Chains A and B, each alone.
Chain A
């Protein structure tokens, strides 16, 4: 029963990521695009953990989810620095 619930959650997360892809393509300002890419990354992270749980043979999806979290964190810092100052390095 839990497996089906997680499968449904994964499908809904993928749908939500597809919806935020519209904001990446259409977003008026660059801040919209950056935040939308960040949201897609977070959805992909949770979906990867769900995949690792559903197919319990392939626990290495946890590693890929960790790498995703790391890249998202750095993207947040770089985006905040760029939006705040207009440059990444002074």
Chain B
């Protein structure tokens, strides 16, 4: 079995390194436009994670794990629920229910609602992205 096919092919390496930033940019687009078009935090997280899976396929598993270390992935997995829960509790402190965005503090209610929905989506996206990359690395042989 030729070992040179694992992470050494020039065409696959070059195309993956060119395409991966655009995939991540598309994932950010899906993340920030989730409230007016199909998509949202979960879908954007999966798209961004797929760019890391593509890099792992093209560059080989050890090199891609070197670029996205476990010490970075673990805090990212945990920070998403933290953002979600802290925004929910902030809505309680502002006088509403859990995750009731429309309470007016500092800004008019619709502005607060838009900002907090985007922040919750960003938290979900971070968690899903790190989680799916971790699951993929585990399945590929950690």
What is A's interface to B at a CB cutoff of 8 Å? 60, 63-64, 66-67, 70-71, 73-74, 77-78, 81, 84-90
Contacts and interface: CB of A to CB of B under 8 A. Distances in A.
Interface stretch (B49-57, B81-89, B117-125, B126-134): B49-57
Considering residues B3, B12, B19, B37, which has the most beta carbons from chain A within 10 angstroms of its beta carbon? B37
A81 B57 contact: yes
A85 B3 CA distance: 9
Interface of B is mostly: helix
A69 B141 CA distance: 27
Given A63-B37, A66-B26, A70-B23, A81 B5 contact: yes
A71 B51 CA distance: 10
Contact of A86 (B1, B38, B140): B1
B1 A89 contact: no
B26 A89 contact: no
A85 B2 contact: yes
Contact of A85 (B5, B12, B29, B58): B5
Given A73-B19, A74-B53, A88 B140 contact: yes
B63 to A, nearest CB: 12
A74 B57 contact: yes
B76 interface: no
Interface residues of B, number: 26
19 contacts: A60-B37, A63-B29, A63-B30, A63-B38, A66-B26, A67-B26, A71-B50, A73-B19, A73-B54, A74-B53, A77-B12, A77-B54, A77-B57, A85-B1, A85-B6, A86-B1, A89-B141, A90-B3, A90-B7
A70 B46 CA distance: 12
Given A86-B1, A89-B141, A70 B50 contact: yes
A89 B19 contact: no
A78 B23 contact: no
A75 B78 CA distance: 30
B62 to A, nearest CB: 10
Contacts of B7: 90
